Structure 1
Amino acid sequence: METRDLVVVTGGSRGIGAAVCRGLAARGHAVAVNYAGNAEAADAVVDAVVADGGRARAIAADIADERQVAALFEQAEAELGALAGLVNNAGILGEARPLDEQDAHALERLLAVNVLGPLLCCRAAVRRLSTRHGGQGGAIVNISSVAARTGGIYGTVAYAATKGAVESLTRGLANEVAREGVRVNAVAPGLIATDMSPADVDRLAESGVPMGRVGRPEEIAEAVGWLMSPAAGYVTGTTMTVSGGR
């Protein structure tokens, strides 16, 4: 019987993405560790997975480029087997400044990576997973942010808007493919300790997070792993908030 345990994780070389890759591998998934530019970091994630007995490959692709997205999924399946799921994690913060000071080209790149990228990757995944396309079903998890509802911290309005789009994508696509064997959910992290965190993240957590601390990438990975698992078989179209109560 064909093995169907491959999950493509975009932006899998660092932070939340790296934790997601390790967590899914620990659950028995083969993992395609997508990255945009840092091959060394992606290779380190692959090495960690393989050292623990898992299967992984690092695959470079700009998810805002249609041809590169197609190549990402083709290479992943060629090297790791049939697709079982997708985690849309890749994202950028953009310029940390008020909207009226933002550069249009920077905004275009922010939208390309944070909105167009997940759309293209979801399209590629649905074409492989949907029973309407001859697939056997699967799961998609999009990484959003509590910023989608709070509007983000000062200077991140545009980033927050892109995460609002991700949550709309999640709900709409879930409805569209619910009867085609594909579940679509999202995880909305709060303040998490990654290299995208603001410099004063600990102070922000102390004053603005009911639990009084910053979250760990592994805590987001646990939520993603559950949503990808059969235990969440009746869950679709929802956004799970993992934010310490924020």
Structure 2
Amino acid sequence: MPTSGKQKRKTLVLTGASRGIGHATVKRFAASGWRVISCSRYPFPEECPWEMGRDDHMQVDLADPADIERAIAELKRRLEPEGSMLHALVNNAGISPKAKGGARLNAIDTDAETWRNVFQVNFFAPIMLARGLFDELERAQGAIVNVTSIAGSRVHPFAGSAYATSKAALTALTREMAADFGPRGIRVNSISPGEIETSILSPGTGKIVDEQIPMHRLGAPDEVARSIYFLCSEQSSYIHGAELQINGGQHV
């Protein structure tokens, strides 16, 4: 989508861009004319169609705090031609490790290193990025969207304890960020997806769909992407500190 000289295109930074919800979100924003800086631990996938995809892709290991700091410095450099403005940060990346055979890791059997890694990626990385890019977000009066999970509010048959508690913590962090970032003009919200048709689904999800979801179907990644786009747009200009449930009624 072309932009005039007076109206610079907006910029999004998104983590976990290589598949599922992140992949769909990148395509949604790119189709609407945004510049998208995608962040993933994987190289840029050549089949992806969005403009400047390779040039605006960054490999970063969110499990490594030092690598996050490196990525923040690189993101600041990349944003300089745009007036050092960032209109949206979407913290989508998350990890959900499993036990042998794909079994759920419970609170008793999850080792300390796994707890640390999960919280580093799912909880600490979002606040590190938000704080590191605070000035750029403030200049643009931008928006932050944290991707939580329905597993953060109830025991889930497949999501492990470390994953679930990290997502619950991210929900609480969204509230705290809304209180602290809001006076500086930065809106902060979260989305809480339920059973979305991505590679993170486990065998047995069909039983949840049949018994717990009133709409009796999985959600599509693009349905989540559209909600993220809404929370980063002017259409949601007075929505702040909210968590949007995207689960076909599973939460009821």
Per-residue deviation, residues 156-211 of structure 1 (Å, max 9, x unmatched): 12211001111111111111121211000001000011111112222321222111
Change (3 A) 1:8 1:40: closer
1:90 aligns to 2:89 (yes or no):
no
Q: How many residues align?
A: 236
Per-residue deviation, residues 113-167 of structure 1 (Å, max 9, x unmatched): 011111111112323222xxxx231100110111111132255122110011111
- Structure 2, unaligned runs of 5 or more: 1-5, 99-103
What's the counterpart of residue 44 of structure 1?
Answer: 47
Aligned pair partner of 1:141 in 129, 145, 152 = 145
When the two structures are superposed, what TM-score results if normalisation uses the length of structure 2?
A: 0.86
What's the counterpart of residue 23 of structure 1?
Answer: 28
1:239 aligns to 2:249 (yes or no):
no
Kept in 1: contact 2:15–2:22 (CA 8 A): yes
Kept in 2: contact 1:4–1:83 (CA 8 A): no
Structure-to-structure mapping, 1:122-141, within 5 angstroms: 122-130=130-138, 135-141=139-145
What's the counterpart of residue 32 of structure 1?
Answer: 37
Separation of aligned partners in 1, 2:110 and 2:236: 40
- Percent of residue pairs bearing the same amino acid type: 31
What's the counterpart of residue 209 of structure 1?
Answer: 213
1:73 aligns to 2:78 (yes or no):
no
- Structure 1, unaligned runs of 5 or more: none
Kept in 1: contact 2:76–2:133 (CA 8 A): no
Poorly superposed stretches of 4+, deviation over 6 Å: 53-56
Kept in 2: contact 1:19–1:218 (CA 8 A): yes
Separation of aligned partners in 1, 2:148 and 2:78: 24
What's the counterpart of residue 190 of structure 1?
Answer: 194
Change (3 A) 1:163 1:105: same
Kept in 1: contact 2:96–2:159 (CA 8 A): no
What's the counterpart of residue 176 of structure 2?
Answer: 172
**Which has the larger displacement, 105-114 or 76-85?**
76-85
What's the counterpart of residue 13 of structure 1?
Answer: 18
SS of residue paired to 1:150:
coil
Separation of aligned partners in 2, 1:113 and 1:192: 20
Per-residue deviation, 1:104 = 1.3
